[in-house]
Structure 1
Amino acid sequence: MIRLRDVTHAYEGRTVLDGITLDLAEHRVGIIGANGSGKSTLARTLNGLVVPDSGSVLVDDRGTRRDPHAARRRVGFVFSDASAQILMPTVAEDVALGLRHFGLGPEETRRRVDAVLRRHGLIDHRDHPAHLLSGGQKQMLALASVLVTEPDVLVCDEPTTLLDMHNARVIGRTLRALPQPLVLLTHQLDMLDGFDRVLVMDGGRVVFDGAPEAAIGHYTALMDARQEGADRARAEGGAV
């Protein structure tokens, strides 16, 4: 379980997380919200990529402030831009990079790498240049490079943002089939079908926490109200 207690964080004086307290224990949790709502920063606190200015994040009762490396071993993180996550020249080398601190021999490393590449449709590309893969293949490689470490929980920050419809659906099906608990940030609301719980973020706070349909309804109403306010302000500003 991941527990957040009164988590607050700011960038350059602007508060992006404002006193968030949560217990994340469900198998599939979605997080939605407009750009700038704080959801990506919240996601990064879950494995210690961001240590909050105040409050605490506990992963299996171990604080990310005191032991961020332990949190990152337990909570895998997939970014929206797979190219930023690919660090090694070839596909196999990039996946193997995640195992470098596991103390595995060459044979076991190769076995694990090939197993995860085969499972995610990349085995025929194991020795290919990683940055020459298609967009969908790069995102699958980024996912495989995290899954090879066998994290207890997976956090994905808008993993389909840069993908076409076909590849977005492939990634969506892959994520739904994973045995690990998943925290998914997404603007593609249909990906949340069947999730256990969805959080709506706005202004650095969780403003709704419930079932997918209700959460999406709340988010849609929030965005509609915001658009109506912007339209009204423009109309009043243009009035003579």
Structure 2
Amino acid sequence: MDVRFDQAGTSFDGRTAVHPLSLSLTERRIGIIGLNGSGKTTFARMINGLVQPSQGRVTVNGFDTGADGEAVRGQVGFIFQNPQNQIILPILREDIELGLRGRKLTRGQMQDRVNGVLARFSIGHLADRRVHELSGGELQLAALASVLVTEPPIVILDEPTNQLDLRNRTLVERTLRALDEDVLVISHDLPLIEDYDRVLLFHEGRIVADGRPEEVVAEYRKIAVS
């Protein structure tokens, strides 16, 4: 991963969501924490170009999120807080195939890619199920499969364990730990990111702590009870 912010910030309707900041992200596992409305999701969306900087510049593996939007989208997969918002087609296999359309693959190559990602997440038995029949954990895995079938080297997940029971949370946590891709995780689930390489703490649109999980989480707890 090589993500660089060069005095990049963004505002909406006159309100600053992320104040200008400069930093580089190169670690394989990065957690992003903070209170609701602190800017962490906006920051993450600036990385894959869903949100453009109002000032400054963001690059991902050498590609500018403004000038090279299509290339950036090929570098970064994004899993939304509610995976149902990004699963479009009613049958899981069809939805996973959707991401491969227009990629100049033969039908056989598409099927191999889809079968491969289904096997990778051990959800082949769900391939022909209707999406609305899946559990919360199965939906997260389905969303991961739909994104990672396109083979982005970086994946961002927004609250991947939100509202999951213990069984499904454990399933998602185990899956994330096994990913080969570089991962950025936005989470209120602090145990999920306790062994990550680096954690960023956002507060009022600024990064107020950046370092090892135990140090940054301690700062977060101070903010949360102040």
Q: Specify the TM-score bucket, using the shorter chain as the normaliser.
A: over 0.9
One-letter identity of the residue aligned with 1:192 = I
The 5 Å alignment of 1:45-84 reads: 45-84=46-85
The separation in 1 between residues aligned to 2:131 and 2:113, in whole angstroms, is 18
**DSSP-derived class of the 1:195 partner:** coil
The reply to whether residue 214 of structure 1 matches residue 211 of structure 2 is no
| 1:10 corresponding residue in structure 2 | 11
* Bigger radius of gyration: 1
The 5 Å alignment of 1:20-59 reads: 20-59=21-60
The reply to whether residue 174 of structure 1 matches residue 175 of structure 2 is yes
**DSSP-derived class of the 1:18 partner:** strand
> Which range is displaced more, 196-205 or 54-63?
54-63
Unaligned runs of 5+ in 2: none
Does structure 2 retain, via aligned residues, the 8 Å contact 1:31–1:198? yes
Does structure 2 retain, via aligned residues, the 8 Å contact 1:7–1:52? yes
Identity over aligned pairs, percent: 42
Instruction: Please identify runs of 4+ aligned residues in structure 1 that moved more than 4 A.
Output: none
The separation in 1 between residues aligned to 2:169 and 2:38, in whole angstroms, is 23
The separation in 2 between residues aligned to 1:9 and 1:96, in whole angstroms, is 34
One-letter identity of the residue aligned with 2:11 = A
The 5 Å alignment of 1:181-192 reads: 181-192=182-193
| 1:157 corresponding residue in structure 2 | 158
The separation in 2 between residues aligned to 1:153 and 1:101, in whole angstroms, is 21
One-letter identity of the residue aligned with 1:47 = N
One-letter identity of the residue aligned with 1:82 = P
| 1:117 corresponding residue in structure 2 | 118
The reply to whether residue 139 of structure 1 matches residue 147 of structure 2 is no
One-letter identity of the residue aligned with 2:224 = M
Unaligned runs of 5+ in 1: 226-240
| Number of aligned positions between the proteins | 225
CA shift at 1:101, angstroms? Answer: 2.8
The alignment's TM-score, normalised by the length of structure 1, stands at: 0.91
The separation in 1 between residues aligned to 2:102 and 2:53, in whole angstroms, is 26
**DSSP-derived class of the 2:161 partner:** coil
One-letter identity of the residue aligned with 2:62 = D
CA shift at 1:13, angstroms? Answer: 1.5
The alignment's TM-score, normalised by the length of structure 2, stands at: 0.97
The separation in 1 between residues aligned to 2:182 and 2:137, in whole angstroms, is 22
The separation in 2 between residues aligned to 1:108 and 1:61, in whole angstroms, is 29
The separation in 2 between residues aligned to 1:191 and 1:215, in whole angstroms, is 14
Does structure 2 retain, via aligned residues, the 8 Å contact 1:48–1:69? no
The separation in 2 between residues aligned to 1:25 and 1:101, in whole angstroms, is 31
- 1:118-156 Cα shifts (integer Å, max 9, x gaps): 221221121121222122111110011111111111111
- 1:177-230 Cα shifts (integer Å, max 9, x gaps): 1111111110000011221100000010100000000000010011111xxxxx
CA shift at 1:61, angstroms? Answer: 1.6
**DSSP-derived class of the 1:86 partner:** coil
**DSSP-derived class of the 2:210 partner:** strand
| 1:92 corresponding residue in structure 2 | 93
- 1:82-127 Cα shifts (integer Å, max 9, x gaps): 1101101211011111111321111111111011112212211211
| 1:236 corresponding residue in structure 2 | none
**DSSP-derived class of the 1:89 partner:** coil
Does structure 2 retain, via aligned residues, the 8 Å contact 1:86–1:131? no
CA shift at 1:80, angstroms? Answer: 1.0
